[in-house]
Amino acid sequence: MSAARRQHQRINFPCQVADAAHSNRRSSTATQSSANNDSDDSVVVVQHDDENAITWLKLNRPSKRNAVNESMVEGLISGLDEAVARRDRTRLVVLCGEGKAFSGGFDLSGLTTATATATPPNDSCGGGVGSSDAVEDATLLHRFVRVEQLLQQLYRLPIATVALVHGK
C-alpha cells in the first residue's frame, strides 16, 4: 500500500467511545490480552493492531469511571512492557477508557481498604503500638513507588504515546 493511501486510511478504535462512530470498522488483525491482578473489574485490556502498528491500552473499569487502582497500575505497566517487546510491530501506543470517561483519577477508596486489611509483621516483641502503622506506611509507599514507576515508564517510552481522552 502506498504511503499516500495509508495516510488516509481510517484507524479502528477498540474503545467504546469510538466504537459508536466506527462500529463496522474493527480490525481483523488485532490480538487481545488482559491484565487483571486482584479484582474482576480492575482490568487493562491490551490490543495489538499489527496492520496499523498500534498497541491499544484500554482502561476497563467503567463502573468506577476507570478510576486507577493498584491492579490497573500493574496492568498498565504490563501493557507498556508488551508494547516495548513488540517495538518492531508497534509505532504508537494509545491509552483510552471504556465507558463514559477516560479516567476519574486515582481510586482513593482502594487506599483505605488496603491499609485497613494490612496485617502487622511477626516480630519478637509481639507487635505492639505502631507496628500496624508501619505496615500501612510501607503499603502506601509501595503503591506510590509503583505509580511513579508507571509514570517514568510512560515518560521514557521509546514509542509515541497518545491518550484518547473523553468524558464529562
Domain boundaries, the chain: 3-110+129-164
Class of domain 3-110+129-164 as given by CATH: alpha beta
- Is residue 90 pLDDT above 80, yes or no? yes
The torsion region of residue 127 among left (phi > 0), alpha (psi -120 to 50) and beta comes to left
- Is residue 29 pLDDT above 50, yes or no? no
pLDDT digits (tens, 9 = 90+) for 33-77: 555 444 444 489 999 999 999 999 999 999 999 999 999 999 999
Q: What confidence score (pLDDT) does residue 139 get?
A: 85
The torsion region of residue 95 among left (phi > 0), alpha (psi -120 to 50) and beta comes to beta
